[in-house]
Amino acid sequence: MDFFQAQNDARRNTNRFVLLFIVAVMVLVLLTNFLVMAFMGAFSAYFGNDLVMGRYADSLLASGGNSADILSWAFWKAFLRVFDWQMFFGVGFIVTAIVAAASFYKIMALSSGGKVVAEMLGGRLIRPNTELPSERRVLNIVEEMAIASGTPVPLVYVLPEAGINAFAAGFTPGDAVIGVTEGSIRHLNRDQLQGVIAHEFSHILNGDIRLNIRLMGLLHGILIISIIGSYLLRYRSSSRRRRSDSTAATVVLGLGLVAIGSVGSFFGSLIKASVSRQREYLADASAVQFTRNPDGIADALRKIGGFAEGSTLESPSAAEVSHAFFANGVRSMLASFLATHPPLGDRIRRIQPHWNGEFLEAGRQADEIISTETPEPVANQSFPFQGAISPAVADIAFAMNNVGRPQQQHLEYAHALIDQVPNELIEAVREPYGARALIHALVINKDSEVRKSQLEHLEKQGDQGVHELTARLLTLVDALGNQFRLPLIEISIASMRQLSPSQYQLFKKNLSVLIEADNKISIFQWALQKIVFHNLDSGFNKPSVFSVTGKYSALSQLENEIGILLSLLVHAEHDNYKDAEKAFNAAKRQLDNIHIKLLQSSIINLNELDTAIDRLALLKPLLKPRVLKACAASITVNNHVSVIEAELLRAFSAAIDCPMPLLLNPLNKG
């Protein structure tokens, strides 16, 4: 399954669990009605003391008076006529309102992104500049994978749990976090930990994290009935000295609500299981494809099976997040039926078909090779090229065919890139002040007069220390190869997520001033600003939890936006109108039946481009590859790719939530 199909399936799964949620609410309404009617003495009113009074008697009389006719249609037809529909709909409205309010409250509480989930589980943030070897190992793996896949580096939390487990959470890659238990850090070697983290990256790339957070919010509404019942029982316990009929009735009501809540819990587990299991198989396969090391993730699963604590978490909130874990995080009496994850053995055999059935002890590393076969990367061979192509164009083709599906080559190249970056720059971008200074330095103009005014502005308006650090990094940034720019930006984003809201707003304001200091915005400056703000805004400005994805179902709905995007892309490299037209027509051929025209460069407004890209991000997932292929066709029409074209393509791809992996062929010219 490719990235776009996985994204589309995530949307369909959302619709699926919403339908199951509605069914669950209807069941809760019926059961709560029954309980409330019993609690209020409804049976007495309906049946009377001798079963010949009240509405039951009316139903019998209307059906001919024979109690044996209770199963007949005539009886129930009469019963429905005298049924207290006002009470039924009143209780139904109250239950639905309570469930909806509880779901809304929980979703809003989770709207700050993945860090809320991590903190709910007792997680502790690993600072990007940590020097602890065990934590540094985890962060290095996460950094390499993020850079390889073309996504911002997520924050990493360590959970105080002995079990071997991990999770990813958030609404978007920009506010995503990865959590790893202490047991995972202590008992997994680098290859195994890399396999686990690659699995979690798959959930980020495929859109599963947004699905999981919405699932947590909606299921909280189903469980609220049980929570209310538990509260009533605690209230009764605190007032047990006052024995009366009312307190006894409160106990009955509380127990009834807890019982009904258990039905809600059953439905919640059923919904999570129905949505989660196949996504876990897909994430396992993606991890193997990413690392090209099936033994890594398979041995992590084998180690869970041979570990006394397994993958279980002790946190009281673990059940709420169970569907987001790497492996089953909670024990259940109906584990085989309601488990959110497939059995360990099934997952291992899909990765290692010749597995001998033995698990690994947590205290030792795997020393045998179960399978020497390394799966070939799965690529969508639909990129529009024929004949001999240059290495740079082949690189674009490889990246395009692996959007959201980075390969081992990308991971190895990311590792090599980080090793080549000067230590002073790496140390700087791993803390908030240095990260801001690096971004500022990337947009500082090489013209001495403009540069002077930019630095003076930072000295007056920037946070204390940012100006000095920016000035110190300028020499290193000026000598920096183009292939290092986007990876450093992606690491910087993780560090800047630790800024306070006021610091972030000041950073945004200063960055805009620096970019506009020479009264013009270069394409690179625009791309940098788009990537940084697109990813950080989702963390500092709470994303709309009810935002519509897949709003547009046809490219014809966004013809104007596609025209703006492609026009800017071809004009970025071609000053000659005929050359630009040739590139534009190459792109147009990838968009059947779409009526677009090449715009003059003088009328393209970058604000309009921002709006166009934001709307293109709302395309249905299966339509996005056509837009990206059109972009790729336009920049490769002459069998050559410039630096600015490659950076723009990756910026566009990231902005419409289709992260493109690293380009393996460094482009230092153009």
Please report, for the domain that includes residue 280, its CATH number: 3.30.2010.10
**Looking at the structure, do residues 208 and 335 belong to the same domain, yes or no?**
yes
Pick from 351, 371, 399: which residue ends a domain?
351
Average pLDDT over residues 309-327: 89
Q: Locate 490 and state its tokens.
A: 């992606």
Residue 82, domain member (yes or no):
no
Average pLDDT over residues 483-507: 90
**What is the per-residue pLDDT for 561?**
92
Residue 156, domain member (yes or no):
yes
Residue 168, domain member (yes or no):
yes
Type of residue at 669:
K
| Residue 88: count of CB within 10 angstroms of its CB | 15
Pick from 316, 332, 351: which residue ends a domain?
351
**What is the per-residue pLDDT for 368?**
39
**Looking at the structure, do residues 431 and 510 belong to the same domain, yes or no?**
yes
Average pLDDT over residues 303-313: 91
Q: For 198-257, what is each residue's pLDDT tens digit?
A: 999 988 888 888 888 888 887 888 778 777 777 777 665 555 555 555 556 667 667 777
**What is the per-residue pLDDT for 285?**
86
Q: For 383-431, what is each residue's pLDDT tens digit?
A: 444 445 677 788 888 888 888 778 888 888 888 889 999 999 999 999 9
**Looking at the structure, do residues 450 and 347 belong to the same domain, yes or no?**
no
**Looking at the structure, do residues 172 and 283 belong to the same domain, yes or no?**
yes
Instruction: Tell me the pLDDT band of 604, cut-offs 50, 70 and 90.
Output: confident
- Mean residue pLDDT across the chain: 80
Contact 179, 187 (CB under 8 A): no
**What is the per-residue pLDDT for 250?**
66
Instruction: For residues 605 and 120, give the distance between their C-alpha atoms in angstroms, rounded to a whole number.
Output: 44
Say which residues have a Cβ less than 8 Å from residue 631's Cβ, sequence separation at least 6: 565, 566, 569, 587, 649, 652, 653
Average pLDDT over residues 638-655: 82
User: Between these two residues, 499 and 373, which has the higher pLDDT value?
Assistant: 499
Residue 494, domain member (yes or no):
yes
Contact 20, 270 (CB under 8 A): yes
Average pLDDT over residues 642-648: 80
Contact 482, 641 (CB under 8 A): no
Residue 239, domain member (yes or no):
no
Instruction: Tell me the pLDDT band of 601, cut-offs 50, 70 and 90.
Output: confident
Contact 529, 598 (CB under 8 A): no
**Looking at the structure, do residues 123 and 194 belong to the same domain, yes or no?**
yes
Q: In degrees rounded to 5, what are phi and psi of residue 382?
A: -120, 10
User: Between these two residues, 86 and 457, which has the higher pLDDT value?
Assistant: 457
**Looking at the structure, do residues 329 and 445 belong to the same domain, yes or no?**
no
Active site residue 645: no
**What is the per-residue pLDDT for 379?**
38
**Backbone region of residue 404 per phi and psi (left: phi > 0; alpha: psi in -120 to 50; beta: other values):** left
**Looking at the structure, do residues 191 and 303 belong to the same domain, yes or no?**
yes
Assess whether pLDDT exceeds 60 at residue 284: yes
Residue 551, domain member (yes or no):
no
Average pLDDT over residues 27-53: 59
Indicate which residue of 143, 200, 490, 647 is catalytic: 200
**Looking at the structure, do residues 443 and 313 belong to the same domain, yes or no?**
no
Residue 258, domain member (yes or no):
no
**Looking at the structure, do residues 320 and 445 belong to the same domain, yes or no?**
no
Most confident of 42-56, 360-374, 566-580: 566-580
Average pLDDT over residues 609-623: 88
pTM: 0.78
Instruction: Tell me the pLDDT band of 571, cut-offs 50, 70 and 90.
Output: confident
Contact 411, 657 (CB under 8 A): no
Contact 538, 171 (CB under 8 A): yes
**Looking at the structure, do residues 322 and 420 belong to the same domain, yes or no?**
no
Domain that holds residue 178: 115-214+276-351
Residue 145, domain member (yes or no):
yes
**What is the per-residue pLDDT for 15?**
65
Specify the 3-state DSSP secondary structure of 606.
helix
Pick from 519, 547, 581: which residue ends a domain?
519
Assess whether pLDDT exceeds 70 at residue 114: yes
**Looking at the structure, do residues 312 and 424 belong to the same domain, yes or no?**
no
Assess whether pLDDT exceeds 70 at residue 378: no
**What is the per-residue pLDDT for 299?**
94
**Looking at the structure, do residues 335 and 187 belong to the same domain, yes or no?**
yes
Q: How many domains does the chain have?
A: 2
